[in-house]
């Protein structure tokens, strides 16, 4: 029996295994767990993963190449660089902007980066760890994105970049932010981790979020729009930024040859770099202080299958969000319901609500009620990130950040907001149960 025959047999058994282990989902009954998000897959993902394991190419390989091409093509960008997490994607996008090759536009220690405190910490962490200064702006409610009226006040002679996320899939005001960056010569990084597939229209053209900035980042952790288990990506149209991202991802190498391939750069034993001897092996020339943040081909193989499902996932998220928005309108006197950003069509990550001051109940009471009914809830990540323990030393007078005006809405979100899921694994029974649970709780008050 040859290897090809065995391989085919293994693939067929994998399909059968999927049918036995995963395909027969029991119908939802009240009391069953409703997760805010999670993996959605069929036999294709298992087949791709098994095929990759049989290849036994353990690092980045042809599945990674395929995934990068598919992601870039979906977005309409030239370059996508697969990495091991969304956090690594944010780190690499930021670090690429610190490279000496960028000249006077390079972010240096002490330079400022405009961002918000209402979000996930990995948008801010690279700024602080490098020694740059995050400048925090408040957000608006109920869009939950940067208050663009504060941008000009945030600007200083040390400002080099704007680094913002599209909150739970809802695009921030890209027109205003993009014009602000262009007018002031600033880099723009779009943290698109929660917004894969969101669309924004500007000047008569509608494009996917993640294509307006100089760089954009993505996460493929299981709750996200697609999953590789762990994984992320950095995307750009700029060839220099793409090369810098890949260098920092791949140990800081100057060489761009792929793993397992030699001398596609044509410089293997040619040229002089730094103070190395003439002809030093280019695969071991390091032009940056980099990392190893690559993903494996096994992860990428899952992503190749997931990309085929992405359009359907996006439509399901929109449908589920719209159902919640419509059916909860009846209690809009008690909770602030989310609103779609102007000129946008979001690919929603979650349904965010803020309890009104006169509601007669607190956010935590609503969260406890939902959790007791086995409905998973989440707060808006770090709330006000500046109130987190990791800022204790910085708050004691050591500086390291700047706040523009107040963070009033950010604090409001920290105290009064929570969100529930809209992911494709939802069905009408789950959505109806969530709506009934929220309405029942509010009416009982």
pLDDT tens, position by position, 51-65? 999 999 989 999 999
How far, rounded to the nearest angstrom, does the alpha carbon of residue 267 sit from its chain's CA centroid? Answer: 36
Active site residue 166: no
Instruction: Return the bridge partners of 286, or none.
Output: 253
Location of structure tokens 């008690």: 334
C-alpha distances out from residue 193 to 119, 201, 290, Å:
12, 19, 22
> pLDDT for 284-338, tens place per residue?
999 999 999 999 999 999 999 999 999 999 999 999 999 999 999 999 999 999 9
CA–CA separation, 322 and 320 (whole Å)? 5
Residues of the chain with CATH 3.90.1150.10: 311-444
Location of structure tokens 């001051």: 357
C-alpha distances out from residue 210 to 80, 213, 215, Å:
11, 6, 7
| Fold of the 50-261+288-299 domain | 3.40.640
The pLDDT score that the predictor gives to residue 396 is 63
* Helix (H) or strand (E) run with residue 12 in it: helix 3-18
**What are the residues whose beta carbons fall under 8 Å from the beta carbon of 398, sequence distance 6 or more?**
none
The pLDDT score that the predictor gives to residue 25 is 79
Per-residue pLDDT of the chain (445 residues; tens, 9 = 90+): 799 999 999 999 999 999 999 998 788 999 999 999 999 999 999 999 999 999 999 899 999 999 999 999 999 999 999 999 999 999 999 999 999 999 999 999 999 999 999 999 999 999 999 999 999 999 999 999 999 999 999 999 999 999 999 999 999 999 999 999 999 999 999 999 999 999 999 999 999 999 999 999 999 999 999 999 999 999 999 999 999 999 999 999 998 877 777 877 777 888 899 999 999 999 899 999 999 999 999 999 999 999 999 999 999 999 999 999 999 999 999 999 999 999 999 999 999 999 999 999 999 999 999 999 999 999 999 999 999 999 988 876 566 999 999 999 999 999 999 999 999 999 999 999 999 999 999 999 8
> In this structure, how many other beta carbons lie within 10 angstroms of the beta carbon of residue 215?
31
Instruction: With beta carbons less than 8 A apart as the criterion, state whether 156 and 112 touch.
Output: yes
C-alpha distances out from residue 433 to 54, 378, 418, 438, Å:
43, 17, 17, 9
CA–CA separation, 267 and 257 (whole Å)? 10
Location of structure tokens 């990759």: 52
Instruction: Return the bridge partners of 419, or none.
Output: 352, 378
**What are the residues whose beta carbons fall under 8 Å from the beta carbon of 295, sequence distance 6 or more?**
60, 64, 82, 83, 84, 228, 230, 231, 232
Output helix, strand, coil percentages for the chain, rounded to the nearest 5.
Answer: 45, 15, 40
CA–CA separation, 423 and 171 (whole Å)? 18
DSSP labels, 343-411: TEE---SEEEEEE-TTSSS-HHHHHHHHHHTTB--B-STTSSGGGSGGGHHIIIII---EE-S--HHHH
CA–CA separation, 346 and 166 (whole Å)? 9
Residues of the chain with CATH 3.40.640.10: 50-261+288-299
Which of the 8 DSSP states describes residue 178?
H
Catalytic residue among 5, 25, 62, 224: 224
Instruction: With beta carbons less than 8 A apart as the criterion, state whether 10 and 2 touch.
Output: no
- Whose CA is closest to 435, among 338, 360, 324, 326? 324
| Fold of the 311-444 domain | 3.90.1150
> In this structure, how many other beta carbons lie within 10 angstroms of the beta carbon of residue 163?
26
pLDDT > 70: percent of the chain: 99
């Amino acid at each position: 029996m040859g290897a090809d025959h065995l391989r085919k047999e293994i693939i067929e058994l994998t399909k059968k295994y999927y049918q036995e282990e995963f395909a027969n989902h029991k119908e939802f009954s009240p009391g069953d767990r409703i997760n805010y998000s999670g993996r959605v897959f069929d036999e294709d993902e298992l087949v791709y993963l098994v095929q990759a394991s049989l290849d036994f190419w353990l690092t980045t390989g042809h599945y990674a190449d395929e995934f990068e091409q598919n992601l870039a093509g979906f977005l309409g960008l030239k370059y996508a660089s697969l990495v091991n997490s969304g956090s690594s994607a944010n780190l690499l996008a930021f670090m690429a902007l610190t490279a000496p090759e960028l000249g006077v536009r390079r972010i240096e220690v002490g330079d400022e980066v405009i961002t918000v405190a209402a979000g996930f910490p990995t948008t801010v962490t690279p700024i602080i760890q490098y020694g740059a200064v995050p400048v925090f702006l408040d957000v608006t409610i109920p869009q939950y994105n940067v208050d663009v009226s504060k941008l000009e006040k945030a600007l200083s002679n040390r400002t080099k970049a704007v680094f913002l996320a599209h909150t739970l899939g809802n695009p921030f005001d890209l027109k205003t932010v993009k014009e602000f960056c262009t007018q002031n010569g600033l880099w723009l990084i779009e943290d698109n981790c929660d917004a894969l597939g969101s669309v924004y229209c500007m000047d008569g053209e509608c494009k996917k979020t993640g294509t307006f900035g100089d760089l954009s980042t993505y996460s493929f952790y299981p709750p996200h729009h697609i999953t590789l288990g762990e994984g992320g990506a950095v995307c750009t149209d700029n060839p220099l930024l793409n090369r810098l991202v890949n260098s920092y991802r791949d140990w800081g190498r100057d060489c761009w040859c792929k793993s397992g391939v030699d001398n596609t750069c044509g410089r293997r034993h040619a040229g002089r770099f730094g103070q190395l001897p003439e002809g030093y092996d280019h695969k071991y020339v390091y032009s940056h202080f980099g990392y190893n943040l690559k993903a494996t081909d096994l992860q990428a193989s899952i992503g190749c299958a997931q990309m085929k499902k992405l359009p359907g996932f996006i439509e399901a998220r929109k449908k589920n969000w719209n159902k919640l928005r419509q059916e909860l309108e009846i209690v809009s006197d008690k909770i602030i319901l989310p609103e779609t950003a102007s000129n946008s069509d979001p690919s929603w990550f979650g349904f965010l609500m803020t309890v009104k001051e006169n509601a007669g109940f607190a956010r935590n009471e609503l969260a406890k009620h939902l959790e007791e009914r086995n409905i998973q809830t989440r707060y808006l990540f770090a709330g006000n990130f500046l109130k987190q323990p990791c800022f204790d030393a910085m708050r004691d007078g050591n500086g390291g950040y700047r706040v523009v005006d107040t963070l009033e809405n950010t604090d409001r979100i920290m105290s009064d907001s929570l969100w529930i899921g809209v992911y494709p694994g939802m069905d009408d029974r789950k959505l109806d149960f969530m709506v009934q649970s929220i309405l029942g709780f509010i009416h009982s008050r």
